[in-house]
Structure 1
Amino acid sequence: MDGMRAELATAIEKERKHKVVDEQKKRAIYSAPSYDAFKDLVATADLKPVNRQDLDTLFNDKPKRQIFNSHFIPKPCCNSLAEKGAAASAQSQATIHTEGSHPKTPAELDREWRCCRTAEQKIRFMSGLRCGPLASIFLKETDPDLVLCAGQTFEEELKGLEEKGSKEGEEGKDTTEGGEWKSLVLSAARTFFSAVANASPTASDGLVMFLSSDEKELLRRVIAQVSSGNPHKAFAHGPDGPQMDSEEDPNALQSLSGEGQGDGERDDDNLQTLSKALS
């Protein structure tokens, strides 16, 4: 009886692997840029993707986890709004991305992203990155969990800003500060997703394979917001945003090639291609 169970389990696993490999072959025929890439995709079709929870389990001992939390400041017990504001400011300053530095590998990008404790810190970190080097990282490896987490951060922040702006507008309050922050969020999101798009099809293949339909729909919503709220225009002409030129803020106005606003249309084309790949 035990022998029959083992034989049945082996047959089921063999059939599962055959089905997965067959489906991957059908996808890879259209998405693989070369035969070597096709073979690599097929060879790894039955492997289980490593998600963020698996990484946390792998690095769950204190000495290793302290690397990611080396700049963490524990939240004190705050009894007043002023104390809470001071504590939040101190924590924000503790994890500011070092000016002039840029992650060079997927591991460095993931580590620095993990060090950001709040949505504001994550967005400021992303706003300091450049499209070209970021796309090079995604060409080496695109972590679907990181892309999804970034997309969720951008969407939640933009949604919160929209609700806050509507409320302040009804109350007749000044919305200039909110407009400047929204421009920065859109710029960071555009830089991030333009880099992902520039790394396609390598990047988009991983996202299509490992993300659910709802998760891919979330990314498409953010890409649509970035395309409709072009940060090039927001920074240069927005009534609420600062009047900047390319010398003052090259990251906000330059596209993947770094040549300025002239490549904005190409960025939009790349973003549309990425959005279609996620459909």
Structure 2
Amino acid sequence: MTIAGKVALVTGAGQGIGRGIALRLARDGAAVALVDVKADKIEEVAGEIRALGRKATTFVADISDRDQVFAAVDHAEKELGGFDIMVNNAGISQVKPLADVTVEEVERIYRINVQGTLWGIQAAAAKFKARKQKGKIINASSIAGHEGYALLGVYSSTKFAVRALTQAAAKEYASDGINVNAYCPGVVGTDMWVDIDKRMSEVTGAPIGATYEKFVGGIALGRAETPDDVAAFVSYLAGPDSDYMTGQAPLIDGGLVYR
């Protein structure tokens, strides 16, 4: 069973995992609304989706702003003629010892990773209810949402929070026919991990690439994850084969963290 004819919105769709998810959902038959703070990036992805013969629309938004997230959902419905799937993918990382984290840094990462996810849940659920239909909400957590990591403590706490929001929303919206799940990637070969590795090097003195190689070396399947690996699982969560699944945050990490 597929998601052909469905309308999906993906935040953080301009690069990395978000781009991979948007393209996979399009290949599987969905029309896709691309949301990001970088207009040029999402326009490029929109072009790739249209080249596949699927509809795409773009909307520039800062997901930490509740009004902008609601406006993005309204835009998706208006431009693509419906609304069925919300992927709250956008997020940022932070590498710093807990003792050195500033008030401003904590506030920023929580505004984006936690509040941004909450606004996405609210906006999608409100739209599904207004349309009197079922829907899928899919949130980005992480292996760091299952296990706290040194020098990634505040980031880890945001991803634990995403799991909590996912569970609570699943319980609150189940009677409305809305499924809420999350995905928990591991070490994905994206710009975010390049940045994490660089910052780890600055803090620990390890050579550039050493932290990345250390984590990848612990993966049972023997390779780093790709955006396509994550996207394949998100497509499952978006489709009808996962209709009896809600409130879950499975690990999709190649065998790195086990729960």
More strand by share: 2
Q: Determine if the TM-score, normalized by the shorter chain, exceeds 0.5.
A: no
Taking CA–CA contacts closer than 8 Å with sequence separation of 6 or more, which of the two structures ends up with the larger relative contact order?
A: 2
Task: Flag the structure with larger Rg.
Answer: 1
Shorter-chain TM-score: what band?
Answer: 0.3 to 0.5
Answer 1 or 2: which has greater helix percent: 1
Q: TM-score, normalising length from structure 1?
A: 0.31
